[in-house]
Structure 1
Amino acid sequence: MKNPHPVKRFFLHVVLASTALFFTACDPDSSPAAPKGAYEKGVFILNEGNFQKGNSAVSFFDRDTKTVVPDIFKTVNNRPLGDVAQSMAAHNNRAYLIINNSNKVEVVDINTFGSLGTISGLAMPRYFAAVNNKGYVTEWVNYGSKGRVSVIDLNTTTVTKTIEVGLMPENLIIFNNKVYVVNGSENTISIINAGTDALETTVTLAYSPNSLVLDRNNKIWVLAGGKKVYNPDFTVNESQSTAGSLIRLNPVNNAIELNLPFASRKDSPGQLKINGAKNILYYRYAGKIYQFDIAATALPTNALLNRNFYGLDVDPATDLIYGADAGFFTANGKVVRFNPNGTPLDSFQVAIGPNSFLFR
């Protein structure tokens, strides 16, 4: 068979190339995904507001345009969020907003922030985590009494069970189908089996654990504030108080592998956070921010930031450090961002009492 004429061969190549381009352009798999909502990508800032004023809010920061939307819950749902926003968590394209003094959890679509329901009947709720389509909420219940963890059916957004834990339970994490809860007014962690929703064991460690994270080696780090005894003038009685500690816990056997006490009995460390690579810890102590490599065996002596913040976190996508400056709760607060080496980057205004962040 003869080869086509050179001119015919040229036009044949043009037709084939055009046909390939047509099918590529029409291939639905090559088209960019449609946006899921206005808040699909960015940073949520939770602002707790003033006690009994019902003026808590969620601000949204767009990393690309550096613009801020001040109160997205009220804007989308045409009603206020509630009284004292304590914390915020995400699970399966939903956000769970824990509103402490309103004794509820607001559930929203995390991409649009449209309301999906309200979990009520809680008692001074603090923090939320989820696994197996179940949510777990820590609750103080009453000052001076045992706290509890409420188990939430996330399909119906209803409480199905409550589990008694220690005094004033605070933050919690879930690992290997276990729920680890720090009890803020004693020296214990409660461990709940997420399969049976029963208290499995209690681990004793330093007094007043307040926050915990899971590192890349699947070790749990706990920050404890220490026990504080106060003088009549409300200063700390250092001779009767205990120092805080940074503790590494092995969840395989619940053994304490490392216990690093802080130098001062007066100051309480808090706000333990971890970077995206899960190898660097950050925490607040004595009015400054410190950085700690998980391979280290001694606490750092030099601060990363000589500033104190009401809220602290690290963006896992960029490693930028976010500090929440609440001021005196008499006006809008602000967020200050820092590069990983501690140099200032920028700042922006949010609402009253910023206390925490959620990154997307």
Structure 2
Amino acid sequence: MKKITRSRSFLYAAILCFASLGMTSCDDDTVEPEVEAAVRGAYDQKGVFILNEGNYGTPNGSISFLSDSAGHTAIYNIFSKANASRPLGDVVTDLDLVGDRAYITVNNSNKVEVVNAYTFKAEAVLENLKQPRYFTALNEDKAYVSEWIRYGEPGQVSVIDLKTMKVSKTIPVGPQPEELLVVGDKLYVAVSGADVIAVINTATDTRLADIQVTDGPFELEADRHNNLWVLSAGVKYTEANTAAALSMIETANGTVSRTLPFSDPEAFADNLTLSGSKDRLYFTYNGNTYAQSITATALPTTALINRSFYSLGVHPETGQIYGGDSNNFSGDGTVQVYTPEGSEVSSIKAGIGPNGFVFR
């Protein structure tokens, strides 16, 4: 990127001023050419961060960056490269960009790594968390982390003071809390082990209510009307399995106004995501990938892509669909990129277990 320095801008303004002396005088209303901002680091550009969870029990989780620039250059292990080859950790589950920082949740390492969002150099570590799952920020001063603590026991949400990088409060929410999302002045937490969405007041950090949904809620998205979409996994691996379901909660009144159950109680639904315009939902189910409008009153019957993925993302500007393939964790994974209509356009190497995408 070409950078126009302040001194160069001053020179341009002076030339304009002297060129106009015959007609008018220079005054304080002279408009200077726009100065381009300095590039703040290698990742100060449009692209997508690919989260690679790594092998469970091994600290080989990583982050890749795929640039939107010509050639779609991919850079691998960007955390380790920026931090003297230090490993990121064991099972990367989440990455959130908040201001000039990126927050990387590393579940089995019980921490959130805090890095500069443009260089990925480490700035802090939120340690001593208890099986953290997902992170979301209210603003640049305050955030929340869902924590399992221990499987089968009540989990919690930790309130994080981002100025001090300390836990300021913990809020009990029930077993296996998963994704969490701020909508308006409330925090919504998918409590998968209790089949509810916990509602927390972000001003007081107190639990207001539980909204009952179908079995195993774990993924959340908020559409353009601030309605909350919940993907529930259902009960699996039992003699009485229940089907996955997609539900919509009207956040204005806290009511479930739509529940769309999937047909096969044995099949898995996963990877709920939204278009950039927040009016189209995407998910994987029973070996295929589907898309549907937020106004739909029934689940789609025709697949957009005739295959499933380990992870799914949709570019907010181009509408291209990114699907992560874990390759059974036998080595590096891959990411397939598709047009909005579902035609494959490229395939890119990823790290081990690509499980999420964050678009800059």
- Report the TM-score when normalising by structure 2: 0.90
Q: Which runs of 5 or more structure 1 residues have no equivalent in the other structure?
A: 1-12, 231-236
Cα RMSD (Å)? 2.1
3-state DSSP class of the match of 1:74?
helix
Aligned to 1:93: 100
Shift of 1:28: 5.7
Q: Mean Cα displacement is larger for which, 335-344 or 28-37?
A: 28-37
1:336–1:347 Cα contact (<8 Å) kept:
yes
Q: Cα distance 1:265–1:94, how it changes in 2: closer, same or farther (>3 A)?
A: same
3-state DSSP class of the match of 2:80?
helix
User: How far apart, in 2, do the equivalents of 1:112 and 1:198 lie?
Assistant: 36
User: How far apart, in 1, do the equivalents of 2:295 and 2:348 lie?
Assistant: 34
Task: Encode CA deviations 1:242-289: one digit per residue, 9 max, x unaligned.
Answer: 211111101111101111111111112111100000000001110111
Q: How does 1:79-158 map to 2 (within 5 A)?
A: 79-132=86-139, 133-158=141-166
Aligned to 1:70: 76
Q: Bigger radius of gyration, 1 or 2?
A: 1
Task: Encode CA deviations 1:226-255: one digit per residue, 9 max, x unaligned.
Answer: 12242xxxxxx4xx2221111110111110
Task: Encode CA deviations 1:149-182: one digit per residue, 9 max, x unaligned.
Answer: 0110001111111111121010011011111000
Opposite residue 38 of structure 2, the aligned amino acid is: A
Aligned to 1:264: 264
Aligned to 1:273: 273
**Identity in percent:** 41
User: How far apart, in 1, do the equivalents of 2:115 and 2:158 lie?
Assistant: 19
User: How far apart, in 2, do the equivalents of 1:37 and 1:84 lie?
Assistant: 26
User: How far apart, in 2, do the equivalents of 1:143 and 1:85 lie?
Assistant: 18
Aligned to 1:348: 348
User: How far apart, in 1, do the equivalents of 2:22 and 2:324 lie?
Assistant: 55
3-state DSSP class of the match of 1:30?
coil
1:39–1:112 Cα contact (<8 Å) kept:
yes
3-state DSSP class of the match of 1:313?
strand
Question: Does 2:49 correspond to 1:44?
Answer: yes
Opposite residue 187 of structure 1, the aligned amino acid is: D
3-state DSSP class of the match of 1:122?
coil
- Report the TM-score when normalising by structure 1: 0.90
User: How far apart, in 2, do the equivalents of 1:31 and 1:184 lie?
Assistant: 50
Q: How does 1:173-212 map to 2 (within 5 A)?
A: 173-212=181-220
Task: Encode CA deviations 1:177-234: one digit per residue, 9 max, x unaligned.
Answer: 111000122310111111111111111110101101111111111111112242xxxx
1:309–1:324 Cα contact (<8 Å) kept:
yes
1:291–1:303 Cα contact (<8 Å) kept:
yes
User: How far apart, in 1, do the equivalents of 2:37 and 2:161 lie?
Assistant: 31
1:210–1:270 Cα contact (<8 Å) kept:
no
Q: Cα distance 1:202–1:31, how it changes in 2: closer, same or farther (>3 A)?
A: same
Q: How many residues align?
A: 338
